[in-house]
Structure 1
């Protein structure tokens, strides 16, 4: 049980630091100091900062998907689900103080330098893109590429809301998608 608490302390600390100050600005020694574990203890749980980052991305992915898909319980109408995804985004951005997308923030720091991290980011974004593609495919009267258009609008609204620290563009993207669906 102590092993789980130690791992959790490391991950809680690393997650907060990665999220607030970024991957590159967070060092192993800072994670060790702020989590209160010995260096050898950290390395018993994680071989590298990359391993900590991968765990952070995987845990974030799991939590995000649970929250994102929670509105499936409200409706099974694809039009409503697509529009509710923008409502979810707006609520999430406000609750997260406009820090933006964890996955995009990490990948922007690492680019292609880290294949494992790039793969984790791509898997998360592919899941979201597939969600929009599958829901859009259930609609009639929209082009086959509509799911990708929704994905692009969603991602663009996410990024610009971080930049502007406002959800107005999420509302604009939602309204555009609604008009496109008819």
Structure 2
């Protein structure tokens, strides 16, 4: 008999939502377990029942951020008739995120800066997300022109990384305008 997947407990959801909000806004290392427990209104025992360590909570936070990015990418692809339209819609979704008032840079680049050791599980979660993103963009460019897809995708990812870094340091509208023009120029070179 097949098991029905269980819904995450309310306490786990509160812990994860609290971590999502605070880790992104303030950084991972600067936020202690006591703060997460207090703001999620759970006990330490409840936290450790759901996450064996802060590291495991951080990986769950990045997994949630990854799932959100995948959903944004899927939404960007909905109703688009060409890979170029999908890439433009993806770039526009990224720009929209950068323009949001709560934008604090890329959650994954921020986490990589805090966990630079390549073998660390948090760093590995960052690399997995980045690989998915690069593969997604490469597949779209391959539908335009197979032979130049990989360099084009690397260029797109670098434009995105630059926009994500500059978006929280400079005028977000100017950063987004520059990013979108760069993506449009890149697409003109390939379409």
When the two structures are superposed, what TM-score results if normalisation uses the length of structure 2? 0.86
Deviation for aligned residue 1:115? 1.4
Q: How does 1:67-82 map to 2 (within 5 A)?
A: 67-82=72-87
Pairing partner for 1:173 from 159, 173, 182: 182
Deviation for aligned residue 1:6? 0.8
Deviation for aligned residue 1:101? 0.9
CA contact 2:28–2:111 (8 Å) conserved in 1: yes
CA contact 1:11–1:52 (8 Å) conserved in 2: yes
Q: Judging changes above 3 Å, is the alpha-carbon distance between structure 1 residues 3 and 126 closer, same or farther for their aligned structure 2 residues?
A: closer
CA contact 2:152–2:186 (8 Å) conserved in 1: no
Mapped partners of 2:111, 2:180: distance in 1: 26
Mapped partners of 2:35, 2:186: distance in 1: 44
Runs of 4+ in 1 over 6 A off after TM superposition: none
Q: How does 1:21-60 map to 2 (within 5 A)?
A: 21-60=26-65
Deviations 1:39-82 (A, max 9, x none): 11211111110011011111111122112221222214111111
Pairing partner for 2:95 from 90, 95, 101: 90
Q: Judging changes above 3 Å, is the alpha-carbon distance between structure 1 residues 98 and 13 closer, same or farther for their aligned structure 2 residues?
A: closer
Mapped partners of 1:95, 1:114: distance in 2: 33
SS of the residue corresponding to residue 116 of structure 2 reads helix
Partner of 2:166: 160
Partner of 1:149: 155
Aligned length: 182
Unaligned runs of 5+ in 2: 1-5
Unaligned runs of 5+ in 1: none
Deviation for aligned residue 1:117? 0.7
- Of the structure 1 ranges 116-125 and 143-152, higher mean CA displacement relative to structure 2 is found in 143-152
SS of the residue corresponding to residue 163 of structure 1 reads coil
Deviation for aligned residue 1:126? 0.6
